[in-house]
Amino acid sequence: MRYEAPQTVDQAISLLAGTHGNPRVLAGGTDLLVQLRAGFIDPELIVDIKQIDETTAITAEDGGFRVGAAVSGARLKEHDTLSLLWPGVVEAADLIGSTQIQGRASMGGNLCNASPAADTVPALIAAGATCALAGPGGRREVPVEEICTGPGQTILTDGEFVVSILLPARGSRSGDAYLRFIPRTEMDIAVVGVGVSLSLGADGQCSAARVAVGAVAPTALLVPAAAEALVGGVVDDAAIDAMAAAVRAVCRPIDDKRGTVAYRIEVAGVLAGRVCRIALERAGST
Amino acid sequence: MTDSNKTPSGNGTGNGKDYKWVGTRAVRPDGVDKVTGRAKFGADLHLPNMLVGKVLRSPHAHAHIRSIDTSAAEALSGVKAVITRDDFSDQPKGAVQPAGEMTINYRDMVRNVMAREKALYEGHAIAAVAAVDARIAAKALSLIKVDFEVLPHVIDPVAAMESGAPIIQEDLMTEGMEQSPGAMTNIAKRVEFGHGDVAVGFAEADVVIEREFTTQPVHQAYIEPHACVASMTEDGQGELWLSTQGHYVARGHCATLLGLDVSKLRVQASEIGGGFGGKTVVYLEPLALALSRKACQPVKMAMTREEVFRATGPTSGAHLWVKVGATNDGRITAADAVLKYQAGAFPGSPVAQGAQCAFAPYELNHVRTIGYDILVNRAKVAAYRAPGAPIAEYATESVMDEIAGVIGMDPLEFRLKNAPKQGSQSSYGPKFPVIGCIETLEAARDHDHYQSPLKAGQGRGVATGYWFNIGGQTSATLNLSEDGSVALVLGTVDVGGTRASLSMMAAEELGIDLDKVRPMIGDTSALGYNMLTGGSRVTFAGGIAVVGAAQDLIGTLKDRAAKFWDIPVDDVEWAEGEARATNGYTDNMQPLSLQEIAKDMAKTGGPIVGAHSINAQGAGPSFGTHVVDVDVDRETGRVWVTRYTVVQDAGKAIHPSYVEGQYQGGAVQGIGWALNEEYIYDDKGRLENAGFLDYRVPVCSDVPMIDTVIVEVANPTHPYGVRGVGETPIVPPMAAISNALANALGIRFTDLPMSPPRVLAAIKAANGDATTAS
Amino acid sequence: MAKYHITTRINGDDVEFLCAPEQTLLDVLRDDLRLTGSKEGCASGDCGACSVTIDGRLVCSCLVLAAEVGGQEIETIEGMADGDRLHPLQQKFLDFAALQCGVCTPGFLIAAKALLDRNSNPSETEVRYWLAGNLCRCTGYDKIVRAVLDTAADMRD
């Protein structure tokens, strides 16, 4: 195994594209090092992207923020204006692991690790975030929900990696939120996670919404039917119940050591309702 | 209650006085090392020319080992030794001996440290290598070829008892059965305790409740993985450094397994990063010694966390049946229980202890407990804090709570009405000595926590727990230095502050400042035998040894003073750190301080040493009662512990902070056991949650502050009245929390852990909603 | 196999070491630099016993490659006391008996110091969540949380 820390995106691409034997990108390393130590992976090359400006910066862009793929959760949380704009996304990143993990773990890593239970992914999907990918074939901007194709599987081609994530601008009277269920208060992997982002019109009716759910399918799911249950009306108990039912309807989880099929489906709906109420309150107060 | 200091009636000179050190909250003598990173734990020793040892472990829960080919590993550059079953002689049948709270069978132990005929659980050691670095050692393991014939396996204790179950040990004979089973069996032992006739008792009952319960294996989950450094030389002498609860016991085990004279092996205990019973046996140590014997270089071995979970002792999972009868006015007429405990792959579950403790908090005329020790394809259980008792008392205290509810009695009043006292016949035979069961129940009842109102939706539960505590072989030495300071040499590993408590008793006895006593844990050559740290015995038995050593030292000091003054020794007394002449000599002679005698010891007869070795008897049993409030998220099944109070009899708290620490730590381990901790196996018998991510011990944000009340009903067999305190605190929490949940939800839970899916399923079922199962 | 030459600062001192690419910072601290105060409890970031700070940021040293730390400022438990003066947290842990076996203590102290460096007046809840990545199996956390809260109060005075 070799370790390289390139200074530019192009250097990173040529390292990744020029190495056989499954080179791996290192951002925060909180998943990668565990996999290395456990012997799940044995890469020829580790490419540390934390020396690259673009992957480590948070920059304003078109009213939103572009977040480098290797920006740690702790730095994200310390960014006041970003936290005001997308509190649900920041909360989701903040839920990943302990304070120690927060010091390292990044949204880019969380996304590319492609765990169905990744906390930031439903929040990013709900937020309508996109990713900047760079590879030997050039650059492309891809919606977050298109990145993961299955557990541990992504659309990234050989030599391609996630450079940054764009959290878009949002209008007034908008709010987002993310909640997950874990058995303890910290240090667990989500049994279910739900992200909701919604906007209210001048009439108080829901003008736009995106709902995403994690840990209930091979990848996090965008749930258009759940959004449709909210958009075009007042977000009242009936609408929220319909939204929660739509979330439950798309769940196709597995039984495992972290939860059962029935439990996950049930709690997905419970969380969807709770998350929606938080997002609604935030939208109403902005 | 902390200051309800009843007079101890022991032999210590501190007896009946205001104590200067005993009962204070002195800073522990080993503290600075532990807050600065200096303290050396098992993996912190580095020796010159040291190799790294690693273990190849079975991926199968049950398999014949047809062959092991280590030739490629041995040929790898940098590999210095490879060992397998062929490097250990077999041990004779029936070589069983008591060790702490468990028993040791060396024929089983030699198979547990290195699989022989079969791999009996996933993680069972198959081979080990020593190499110049970890990378080469890991590479060597990958080159070892093992030919396994995979066999059917069984994990569940009830399934393992059924005819046709996979047989773990083909030559097993059930102990304690009146009739031979006539076929191969996984039932290693049957035990029965009790008195009276339960049928008669149940006939007298107005209310009878009968319930079945299950518990899952839980791990001690000490933060420090097992680690050791072994060094054997060409002449067959050896040194071993290890993280253990008992270095003398480890020495005996290793010497037996390696065929060494015990005294050829010098064993030093490192600082120990938690044990809770799990570091009372050996795993890596015989392997490290065997590797070092082959390589003639020091070998360090440390387990990964995953190895700790897979290959070291959790405690049993169990199936429990309990039946209790009572009259409408709250008198228990009969109590009956059948306990089936997983032993793991070798006999030795703590079912006998569980059966003995099951109904110990009650005075009963008709009681019976039957226990079965059952082999399954899982790592052999090791002791875990009051081994066996938490499992049994979870079930019995749940039923006691339910029956109190049915007859409409306050659960603490119900327990008080049936509580044992001095002279009561215990449910397992002997009559109780002086005990504090009633005192702890009354203190819990009168506590602000129990009296305070609950918030809407919350529930409150109580449970009482019992543990015997033990004494055992113990040695201590006080070496007087020439300046009057004293080195206290102990042979009992300090897991949580006993260097402090034992030094405090030494200073109290000698009448000197605590900072003049410097305690240390000697290696196995420094003292006579010491049984391991377990059974909540160290402050009790160690205290007796230290007080005895101090009395021995004082005897010599008085001799020297008498010689100096040229008066009869009977006319010398020791008080406040000095020798004083009495009986008319007082006026002529200034008292001689410890420093003065020490300074002149060469002239008065040479070095002054106080020593005492005992086999301590009369450990005071201890009772504790816990009060817990819970809140439940009724939509997700998540349980929150919102308030927790531990009330327990300590006899006498030598260092109250570390007594409280035992209460608090035991309660939080119990919260984990109650709510989330469990071993989860796949259909091949492989552990699915061998890490702290999914084996969910409580984290800091999961729990509230843990209030404590130290009740002090002095143990008359100890000079300061000490009872062991370390184990009883883990006995009540599971039932207390289950009882609190029953109070909150009106639902009686009978399976541990009460994890969110299980709680939500029960809530849904109670609401008639069958769509969600756990 | 080629090793990497790393120049860094540990507890205020310039330090150079050679490391293999797969070695973690914890491996190098413990096995090569013999700074064994940082402990390996899990090697997966779940127990916090290996906590250190890198450029003031609290991390698990088991989840950092040693090759990554060139030019950075690392603080370990060995650097917490100032000469012969214990840090107030270290002294308070002793006074409050906030340790039993002590193997988790270095990690807790490093983590608690990182908290107090940012927040001089944390609530009990903030302390508990900040320290949720540090497992202690002995104390039940009670005395640890009290020690941190009391140290914060002392340091505010």
**Contact (CB, 8 A) for B655 and C95:** no
How far apart (Å, rounded) are the C-alpha atoms in residues C44 and C63?
7
Domain boundary at A119, A134, A167, which? A167
My answer on whether A192 and A135 are in the same domain is: no
My answer on whether A269 and A240 are in the same domain is: yes
CB contact under 8 A, C101 and B224: yes
My answer on whether C73 and C17 are in the same domain is: yes
My answer on whether A87 and A181 are in the same domain is: no
Buried b (16+ CB within 10 A) or exposed e, C55-85: eebbbbbbbbbbbbbeebebbbbbbbbeeee
**Structural domain boundaries, residue A70:** 2-167
Token readout for A160 is 């391609």
Domain of residue A189, CATH code: 3.30.390.50
How far apart (Å, rounded) are the C-alpha atoms in residues B463 and B729?
11
My answer on whether C110 and C72 are in the same domain is: no
DSSP class of residue B516 equals G
Question: Which residue ranges in chain B fall short of pLDDT 70?
Answer: 1-17, 98-102, 178-181, 586-587, 770-774
Residue C83 lies in a domain: no
Domain boundary at C54, C78, C102, which? C78
Token readout for B226 is 């097992």
My answer on whether C72 and C102 are in the same domain is: no
A-to-B residue pairs, Cβ atoms closer than 8 angstroms = 62
Tell me what pLDDT residue B584 has: 74
Domain of residue C9, CATH code: 3.10.20.30
Nearest CA in chain A to C127: A99
How many helices (H) and strands (E) are present in chain A, helices listed first?
A: 12, 14
Contacting B residues, span 633-652, partner chain A, CB-CB under 8 Å: 635-638
Confirm or reject contact between B602 and chain A (CB < 8 A). Answer: no
Q: Which of B223, B493, B642, B699 to mutate to test the interface with C (most CBs of C within 10 A)?
A: B223
Nearest CA in chain B to A180: B636
Give C45's contacts in chain A (Cβ within 8 Å).
Answer: 30, 33-34, 97-98, 100-101
Nearest CA in chain A to C118: A78
User: Which run of H or of E encompasses A280?
Assistant: helix A261-284
My answer on whether C113 and C71 are in the same domain is: no
Tell me what pLDDT residue B102 has: 67
From the list B225, B693, B703, the residue facing C141 with the nearest CB is B703
Domain boundary at C24, C55, C78, which? C78
Domain of residue C127, CATH code: 1.10.150.120
Residue C139 lies in a domain: yes
Q: Looking at this predicted complex, what is its ipTM?
A: 0.98
Q: Which of B34, B220, B300, B306 to mutate to test the interface with C (most CBs of C within 10 A)?
A: B34
pLDDT in tens, A207-254: 999 999 999 999 999 999 999 999 999 999 999 999 999 999 999 999
How far apart (Å, rounded) are the C-alpha atoms in residues A148 and A145?
7
Residue type, B187: I
Tell me what pLDDT residue B5 has: 31
Tell me what the pLDDT averaged over chain A comes to.
96
Confirm or reject contact between C105 and chain B (CB < 8 A). Answer: yes
Q: Which of A98, A99, A185 to mutate to test the interface with B (most CBs of B within 10 A)?
A: A185
Number of domains in chain C: 2
E runs forming strands in A144-252? 148-150, 153-154, 161-167, 174-181, 192-200, 206-214, 221-222
CB contact under 8 A, C90 and B692: no
| Residue B192: count of CB within 10 angstroms of its CB | 12
My answer on whether C93 and C73 are in the same domain is: no
Confirm or reject contact between C33 and chain B (CB < 8 A). Answer: no
Residue C30 lies in a domain: yes
My answer on whether C74 and C92 are in the same domain is: no
How far apart (Å, rounded) are the C-alpha atoms in residues B489 and B520?
5
Residue corresponding to tokens 């060992």:
B83
E runs forming strands in A116-183? 130-135, 138-143, 148-150, 153-154, 161-167, 174-181
Residue C72 lies in a domain: yes
Name, in order, each residue with C-beta under 8 angstroms of B345's C-beta and a sequence gap of 6 or more.
Answer: B112, B120, B121, B124, B168, B169, B375, B376, B377, B378, B379, B380
Number of domains in chain A: 2
My answer on whether A147 and A226 are in the same domain is: no
Residue C134 lies in a domain: yes
From the list B41, B275, B661, the residue facing C143 with the nearest CB is B661
How far apart (Å, rounded) are the C-alpha atoms in residues B45 and B228?
8
How far apart (Å, rounded) are the C-alpha atoms in residues B172 and C65?
50
My answer on whether A145 and A183 are in the same domain is: no
My answer on whether C45 and C97 are in the same domain is: no
Cα within 13 Å of Cα(A126), Cβ side = 36
Q: Which of B693, B695, B767, B769 to mutate to test the interface with A (most CBs of A within 10 A)?
A: B693
From the list A185, A256, A267, the residue facing B701 with the nearest CB is A185
My answer on whether C28 and C50 are in the same domain is: yes
Give A98's contacts in chain C (Cβ within 8 Å).
Answer: 45, 48, 60, 132-134
Residue C69 lies in a domain: yes
My answer on whether C110 and C143 are in the same domain is: yes
What residues does B615 pair with on adjacent strands? Answer: B473
Domain boundary at A167, A200, A230, which? A167
Confirm or reject contact between C42 and chain B (CB < 8 A). Answer: yes
My answer on whether A157 and A35 are in the same domain is: yes
Q: What is the mean pLDDT of residues A185-211?
A: 96
My answer on whether A191 and A248 are in the same domain is: yes
My answer on whether C35 and C94 are in the same domain is: no
CB contact under 8 A, A183 and B756: yes
Query: Residues in chain A whose beta carbon is closer than 8 A to a beta carbon of chain B?
Result: 38, 181, 183-189, 191, 256-260, 262-263, 266-267, 270
Domain boundary at A138, A167, A196, which? A167
Residue corresponding to tokens 């944390």:
C122
CB contact under 8 A, A186 and B756: no
| Cis amide bond preceding B753, omega within 30 | yes
pLDDT in tens, C56-79: 999 999 999 999 999 999 999 999
My answer on whether A56 and A102 are in the same domain is: yes
pLDDT in tens, A42-81: 999 999 999 999 999 999 999 999 999 999 999 999 999 9
My answer on whether C133 and C152 are in the same domain is: yes
| Residue C14: count of CB within 10 angstroms of its CB | 8
My answer on whether C61 and C93 are in the same domain is: no
CB contact under 8 A, A189 and B694: yes
Confirm or reject contact between C113 and chain B (CB < 8 A). Answer: no
pLDDT in tens, A75-117: 999 999 999 999 999 999 999 999 999 999 999 999 999 999 9
Beta strands across the sheet bearing A2-4: A2-4, A45-48, A24-26
Domain boundary at C49, C78, C107, which? C78
Domain of residue A20, CATH code: 3.30.465.10
My answer on whether A198 and A120 are in the same domain is: no
CB contact under 8 A, C43 and A1: no
Residue corresponding to tokens 């490097």:
B87
Give B698's contacts in chain A (Cβ within 8 Å).
Answer: 184
Strands B51-57 and B63-69: unpaired
Give B310's contacts in chain C (Cβ within 8 Å).
Answer: none
Residue C99 lies in a domain: yes
**pLDDT reading at A132 higher than 90:** yes
**Structural domain boundaries, residue C137:** 88-156
Tell me what pLDDT residue B180 has: 61
Residue C144 lies in a domain: yes
From the list A38, A46, A103, the residue facing C59 with the nearest CB is A103
My answer on whether A163 and A178 are in the same domain is: no
**All domains of chain B in start order, with CATH:** 31-39+471-614 (3.30.365.10), 42-153+220-311 (3.90.1170.50), 445-468+620-774 (3.30.365.10)
The set of chains that have 3 or more CB pairs under 8 A with C is: A, B
My answer on whether A25 and A157 are in the same domain is: yes
From the list C21, C43, C63, the residue facing A2 with the nearest CB is C21
| Residue B231: count of CB within 10 angstroms of its CB | 22
Q: Which of C22, C101, C123, C146 to mutate to test the interface with B (most CBs of B within 10 A)?
A: C101
